Amino acid sequence: MSAFVGIGLGAIQAGLFLPRAQDADMRRNVLVRRQRQADAVAAASRLCVNVASDHGLSVLELRDVGAAHLSDPVSCDLLTEASEVAISVSSVKDYESLAPLLARASQRKAQGEGPPCVFYICQNEPAAGASLRRAIIDAQGQSDTFETVEMVIGKMSRTIRDANEISQLELEPGVQGLTEAWLVESYDEISISTPHGRFDRQLPRLTAYSDLTPFKMAKLNGHNAAHAALAYAGKVLGVEYIAEVMSIRPIHDLVYHAFISETGAFLHKKFADQTLFTKAKWHEHAKGLFSRMANPWLHDDCDRVGRSPERKLNWNDRLVGTIRLIESAGSIAYGWRLALHCAVEASEFDNDALTRLWSEAGASNQEINTMLSSQRELQPNYENWRREIGVDTGLKQKD
């Protein structure tokens, strides 16, 4: 029986990877940083994932999942035996601390103690796979025993640790004895980069592509930009959930138009040979995505989606990066610029803070001044749009 190991245990690990490993009848273990979580999982007869569909909530049960703390010597044994490993941690900054353990396992694999291994990279950051590979090799890992596989994960999910919210939403805790619930949407299409080596992949329902770039851009400059735009508009208006924001017609229509006519138009031109990026397919994709984001059973709140504004407002990220991308092709990113106004207002960033943030990301003074002056020129449009939303007279709902 082949073995799967998950590093980190949150909504993505529990709601995406462990179900696939269970379906493939692989041995399943998770390695975590919290000893209490490791003990609880090891003692549990089952784990539970709350799944939001169009019709309500259901519970997915995961059984026979083992667990260990990352510092436990057995962690290296489990990684050595694994043919597929999903790395779902907070950020690429965690790779440096993980690298020595992964390098030791790769050394043992090189000595014939275990099979070659695929590392699935869950971080939504450029070159995350290359960063992990470099960190493992720097730690004396054997490069011919593993391959890093990038992913585009469009599945929306969240981990809830507030006991009152878990009770209010009537969610099943993920692990008995822990105040933690995983809530994921039923959507399950996942794209990965094609592994080039000879690896025994067993996890089902992962679609491999030789070039993930179009799908990464569709996710970051489409899905993520729209999600952030809705969240920051909601925060400006004091609306709690994304589904509620989407019921406000001027917001919904603005973000939908930006998704179709700004991001979509750019992708049509750049990736005309890709099936997803025909106009008909992109409209179909938009319809499905916006329907999913409006799902009230997902209980996706604006605070969560809009968290870490210093990252989401960065020069190359979902809003500013999308504006720059579209306007570099000669178009105007009007909708995304209005969304950036909302994001800046919701995050209480002033021009000095934005200048520092963008400078640290490598933007020149001229580029920054151009971006800021363009935003200032759009200020009257933003105020008109706020009045249209009804910020002073009560929210206008969609029919």
Residue 203 is assigned to a structural domain of this protein: yes
Hey, how many other C-beta atoms are within 10 angstroms of the C-beta on 71? 11
Residue 188 is assigned to a structural domain of this protein: yes
> Of 209, 231, 249, which closes a domain?
209
Range of the domain at 240: 213-389
Q: Where residue 391 falls among pLDDT bands split at 50, 70, 90?
A: low
Q: Give pLDDT, residue 393.
A: 47
Q: Give pLDDT, residue 390.
A: 75
Same domain flag for 181 and 232: no
Contacts of 160 (CB under 8 A, 6+ apart): 166, 169, 171, 180, 181, 182, 183
Percent of the chain with pLDDT over 90: 87
User: Which residues lie across from 184 on neighbouring strands?
Assistant: 51, 157
Backbone angles phi, psi at 222, to 5 degrees: -120, -80
Same domain flag for 228 and 297: yes
Average pLDDT over the chain, rounded to an integer: 93
Burial class from Cβ neighbours inside 10 Å (0-12, 13-18, 19+) for residue 216 reads middle
Residue from 331, 226, 213 nearest 271 by CA: 213
Same domain flag for 143 and 253: no
Q: Give pLDDT, residue 92.
A: 87
Residue 397 is assigned to a structural domain of this protein: no
Contacts of 20 (CB under 8 A, 6+ apart): 203, 204, 205, 206
Residue type, 312: K
253 in Cβ contact with 339 (< 8 Å): no
Quick check: 273 pLDDT over 90? no
Q: Where residue 196 falls among pLDDT bands split at 50, 70, 90?
A: confident
Residue 396 is assigned to a structural domain of this protein: no
> Of 182, 209, 236, which closes a domain?
209
Backbone angles phi, psi at 226, to 5 degrees: -65, -45
Residue 399 is assigned to a structural domain of this protein: no
Same domain flag for 11 and 141: yes
Quick check: 204 pLDDT over 70? yes
Residue 395 is assigned to a structural domain of this protein: no
Same domain flag for 247 and 321: yes
Domain containing 112 — which CATH number?
Answer: 3.40.50.720
Mean pLDDT of 279-290: 94
Residue 96 is assigned to a structural domain of this protein: yes
What's the pTM?
0.92
259-261-263 Cα angle (round to 5): 50
